[in-house]
Structure 1
Amino acid sequence: MVLEDIVAVMARHWPSALAVVIIIHFVRNYYHNGLNQYPGPALARITNWWRFWDVLKRRPEVTHIRLHKEHGDVVRLGPNYLSFADPRAVKDIYGLNKGFIKSQFYPVQQSVSAGHRLPSLFSTTDETFHAGLRRSVNSAFSMSTLVQYEPFVDSTTALFLSQTDKLYAAPGVICDFARWLQYYAFDVIGNMTYSERHGFIERNEDIEGIISYLGKLFSYVAPIGQIPFLDLLLLKNPLYLLAAQYGFIDATFPVARFARARLEERIASSPSKPASSSPPDLLSKFIAAQQIHPETVTQKEVLTLAVSMAFAGSETTAISLSAIFYHLLRNPPYLTRLLAELDDAERRGVFADETPGVVSWAEAQQLPYLDAVVKEAFRIHPAAGLPLERVVPAGGATIAGHFIPGGTIVGCSAWVLHRNLTIFGSDAAFFRPERWLASSGSGDGKGEAERIAGMNAAMFHFGSGSRTCIGKNISLLEIYKVVPSLLREFEVDFADGRKEWRLWNSWFVRQLGFEVRFRRREAGKVG
């Protein structure tokens, strides 16, 4: 009887009742876990939709930098979400054996093949799965091992230089440089993974729409990941995936389709290695790991590893390469100094040109100003444009001096950390490679060494701790080879005087409208 009376009252006064429920919900969010003590936008304190909208506008990194400048080291970005700018937070959150796990933002990024999710080293929230899989394949990604793959990078880089001349320099055609560098990064990783390039550079087109698809996918992932349950209503709707499993629809991601085809070809021909005349590629390493650790590395994991190489590896490397060239063109004195270093190395016979025109990894390590330029580009434009989310362990944890209750989502953004004035200097907002070089006039060699070591320790572009990007050495190998190789061969300049690009933060901060012209360059002189 009482229940019926309550229902009757609710029916008559449902607008008021709904308003009360909404108010209670927002009040609970505001005071959730005592996080009301931390500053942040008013709407962010009561709803995740504020963060969804901010990310959907495609420049959340600008918002995060501004909020930390206004409010300090801890900013509340959601009812259960704190962003940290204090560098000490990195060790507290991402350090080994701290007990923090990845949030539900990451499964939104999982690939799908034949209706099945493909949790990867990057996207899984299962630490046991991650530890076992990473331990099984870690040796394939060490720098000492990766140098064995250098011939794959050499052949693709040589083709890239040749096609740059043929398609752009010789005819004087304007180049969408960010897209061209993305083609390069995809073909390198394809060659290194399968001993077969995708064909982006040869055909100068987006093969099977893979790059376009990834762009759309990341544009989906970034905002949807702020409210992850939306993914279960959309791209990973259980009914949609079930229909794919039974073959009614094809929900396989294009990159997964390509990787699966290459894996099937390899298994059909030679399970553990490419052609005998070729060096071992990553796929052969993954299949070998499957044979050694069959309980951990199944064929599904082999496919996932192959897919993830293209997913994150090519996208982030292309972004870093674009950042290097863009900031050099925007700052001609720095470009001039780098060209002088390359020309000096040329005169001293540093470049053996074992692969004509291509700088080797060992040769690149003899170029200190190149190293400074690369590090400064990593600092000023890290590829990831959102905080790397983690969940505080059940018992709570102290982060940079603040006790944070268990279950709270916390994270640091490289875009915020890399602009720390104390560590990187008062001009941290500007591109200046010289900050990475010891000042000869300081008279304090030890102090300069400590200053540079402090900057290196604060860099967060590859993440930190046990979930540090496993492919970082692949990216470094590509970058340190192609940048000097391209600048030895060509003069690069903005097309038609355009110097501003447009940034699009869809989890990774992509660059749009970066158009250039190339001219052949010989021994430091424009040809």
Structure 2
Amino acid sequence: MGLLNEVVPLLAQYWPVVLTSVAIGWLLNNKFWKGLNKYPGHWLAGYTNWWRFWDVWGRKHEWNILRLHRQHGDVVRLGPNVLSFGDPKAIKVIYGLNKGMVKTEFYPVQNAVSKGRRLQSLFSTTDEEYHAKYRRCVNSAFAMSSLVNYEPLVSSTVGVFLDKTQELYAKTGASCNFSQWLQFFAFDVIGDLTWSKRLGFIEENRDVDGIIAFLNKFLSYAGPIGQMPMLDLLLEKNPLRLFAQRIGLSNTVFPVTLFAQTRSNERAGEIQKIKTYGLPEDQSNPRGVDLLSKFAQATHDHPEFMDDTRILTSCTSMVFAGSETTAISLSSVFYFLLKHPRVYAKLMTELDDAVANGTIEARANRTVSWSESQKLPYLDAVIQESFRLHPAAGLILERVVPPQGMDILGNFIPGGTIVGCNAWVLHRRPEVFGTDVDIYRPERWIEASAQQLKDMKATMFQFGAGARTCIGKNVSLLEVYKLVPSFLRRFEIELERPEAEWKTHNAWFVRQTDFNTRFRPRETPA
């Protein structure tokens, strides 16, 4: 007690010195923690996570991290406890099966909320056992073999999109905000795939229920806040706020969740039948079986795990992840084509030749099927090169090193360290893609030797890698490979201002703005 009486007055008298000493001690502890000070990076990154928070908040993180890797080498420190690996060989080590790596707290920041409870999705959960059970339930819905089920649904929306483009833009000569227009397409495809119902984005040419505006705002929040997840517990996922929702004092529901609930409730009776009896095997459905039906079938097959909340979560995830990334990829393909007229002309020659020799059926609405698109090597090269130069995800895909620590490419990394790779860095590795990595050149995918092509494909990271690879990858590819050739066959596209560059906004996914175009109906080649 006597010691306390002596210490308290001293603390009161010298509190500025004490506070300064504690702050300096904390910063130095961060800097030298676990010996990570040997890895280079921005000089502030070793001291505090506020550096990476502000860097991501600046919306240009993909260029900053690329510059840091080019300046400092394969391992760059992004925070006191965060390392970015730029060597493609790190992909197998960090994201490979049975490596003991788990997702970080960056991901639960992206949980949707319903009635005060977080909806743990396949994407956002950090629990590997939960993820494995969940994935077993829905895997078949996303398998490549299921594409045949979904193609009629995608074709239906492609047809409407082409007709609306003709009516609103090609016929009138009006300017089109192309990245937004492609996002309307991606959203309506997700509506058709998930609920067998387009949601009205294309037909009404507007952001239905303000859902895109909400998503943009939410992802812009999740990117920087995810660098310091504790902030989310003070803001959106504040425990008091969630408790108030659970007991009915607050009725706040994520607009995306409400959106998914409303769509699913419209089919409640039919879905209850599938949950009870399963999908009828003897009935053919010319429009294809949608994802809501498949999720209900998963409840029939796995009633112990796949409940109504997880059906809702799965539908919500489709809206969250399925629209944004696909729209970004589509914008990239068209933008790079328009910026490189030689490539555009060469692709059109391939498409016209394919129609002339019967590889593509000469349909009245000029659409191209999935199987036809897979026989067009230059189209594939154009799409792959667009994925390479502008992958949708703009941050590292974070993982936590297991407690015992592990060796990553000759570096012993202590347990608990956050590690990851960034697609923008991996996709510009000269030893994999050639010395002209900053140039858009689809020919690299055709000229490559068998071994080079294998290495290039193994380095592509736009859908992630390993057990947590994006489950909707095949659905996204189906949309891209169908829409791009169909649109190009129907319309001639030109940039409104050919000399201008688009703007990008890294909100975790790197979306594009200021991509304005005009369309003309394309004459059928003789």
Aligned residue number for residue 375 of structure 2: 366
Aligned residue number for residue 168 of structure 1: 169
Separation of aligned partners in 2, 1:483 and 1:89:
33
Mapped pair 1:418 → 2:418: no
What SS class does the counterpart of residue 503 from structure 1 fall into? strand
Alignment of 1:477-492 (within 5 A): 477-492=478-493
Write the deviation string for residues 344-388 of structure 1: whole angstroms up to 9, x where unpaired: 112112222568322100110111100000100110000000000
- Asked if 1 retains the 8 angstrom alpha-carbon contact of 2:151 and 2:288, the reply is no
What SS class does the counterpart of residue 443 from structure 2 fall into? helix
1:433 positional shift: 0.4
Mapped pair 1:30 → 2:31: yes
Separation of aligned partners in 2, 1:494 and 1:401:
48
1:134 positional shift: 0.3
1:246 positional shift: 2.8
What SS class does the counterpart of residue 492 from structure 1 fall into? strand
Aligned residue number for residue 429 of structure 1: 438
Separation of aligned partners in 1, 2:364 and 2:234:
51
Mapped pair 1:304 → 2:313: yes
Write the deviation string for residues 393-423 of structure 1: whole angstroms up to 9, x where unpaired: 0000111111100000000000000000000
Separation of aligned partners in 2, 1:416 and 1:452:
18
1:146 positional shift: 1.8
Separation of aligned partners in 1, 2:431 and 2:248:
57
- Asked if 1 retains the 8 angstrom alpha-carbon contact of 2:184 and 2:202, the reply is yes
Aligned residue number for residue 150 of structure 2: 149
State the AA in 1 paired with 2:508: W
Aligned residue number for residue 333 of structure 1: 342
Aligned residue number for residue 418 of structure 2: 409
- Asked if 1 retains the 8 angstrom alpha-carbon contact of 2:82 and 2:418, the reply is yes
1:270 positional shift: 4.2
Aligned residue number for residue 295 of structure 1: 304
| Between 82-91 and 267-276, the greater mean CA deviation after superposition | 267-276
Separation of aligned partners in 2, 1:113 and 1:198:
21
1:498 positional shift: 4.8
Alignment of 1:174-323 (within 5 A): 174-271=175-272, 272=274, 278-323=287-332
Separation of aligned partners in 1, 2:96 and 2:308:
31
1:61 positional shift: 0.7
State the AA in 2 paired with 1:14: W
1:241 positional shift: 1.4
Mapped pair 1:388 → 2:397: yes
Write the deviation string for residues 72-100 of structure 1: whole angstroms up to 9, x where unpaired: 00000000000000111111100000000
1:489 positional shift: 0.4
Separation of aligned partners in 2, 1:77 and 1:14:
32
1:310 positional shift: 1.1
State the AA in 2 paired with 1:314: S
Separation of aligned partners in 2, 1:390 and 1:240:
29
Separation of aligned partners in 2, 1:243 and 1:452:
55
What SS class does the counterpart of residue 500 from structure 1 fall into? coil
Separation of aligned partners in 1, 2:263 and 2:514:
33
| Between 264-273 and 162-171, the greater mean CA deviation after superposition | 264-273
Aligned length: 517
1:432 positional shift: 0.6
Aligned residue number for residue 460 of structure 2: 459
Aligned residue number for residue 111 of structure 1: 112
What SS class does the counterpart of residue 396 from structure 2 fall into? coil
State the AA in 1 paired with 2:45: A
- Asked if 2 retains the 8 angstrom alpha-carbon contact of 1:44 and 1:78, the reply is yes
| Between 202-211 and 279-288, the greater mean CA deviation after superposition | 279-288
State the AA in 2 paired with 1:459: M
- Asked if 2 retains the 8 angstrom alpha-carbon contact of 1:488 and 1:524, the reply is no
What SS class does the counterpart of residue 497 from structure 1 fall into? coil
Percent of aligned pairs sharing the same letter: 56
What SS class does the counterpart of residue 133 from structure 2 fall into? helix
Return the TM-score normalized by structure 1.
0.96
1:66 positional shift: 0.4
Return the TM-score normalized by structure 2.
0.96
1:216 positional shift: 0.2
Separation of aligned partners in 1, 2:525 and 2:238:
57
Write the deviation string for residues 235-286 of structure 1: whole angstroms up to 9, x where unpaired: 1111111222233333211121111122223222443269966421111000
1:515 positional shift: 0.3
Distance 1:277 1:69, change over 3 A: closer
Separation of aligned partners in 1, 2:11 and 2:304:
56
Distance 1:504 1:114, change over 3 A: same
What SS class does the counterpart of residue 518 from structure 2 fall into? strand
Gaps of 5+ in 1: 440-447
Gaps of 5+ in 2: none
- Asked if 2 retains the 8 angstrom alpha-carbon contact of 1:339 and 1:524, the reply is no
Separation of aligned partners in 2, 1:76 and 1:215:
28
1:147 positional shift: 1.8
| Between 429-438 and 409-418, the greater mean CA deviation after superposition | 429-438
What SS class does the counterpart of residue 183 from structure 1 fall into? helix
Aligned residue number for residue 359 of structure 2: 350
State the AA in 1 paired with 2:217: K
| Root-mean-square deviation (Å) | 1.4
State the AA in 2 paired with 1:282: L
What SS class does the counterpart of residue 295 from structure 1 fall into? coil
Aligned residue number for residue 122 of structure 1: 123
Aligned residue number for residue 6 of structure 2: 5
Separation of aligned partners in 2, 1:259 and 1:353:
37
Write the deviation string for residues 33-76 of structure 1: whole angstroms up to 9, x where unpaired: 11011111111001000000000000001110000001000000
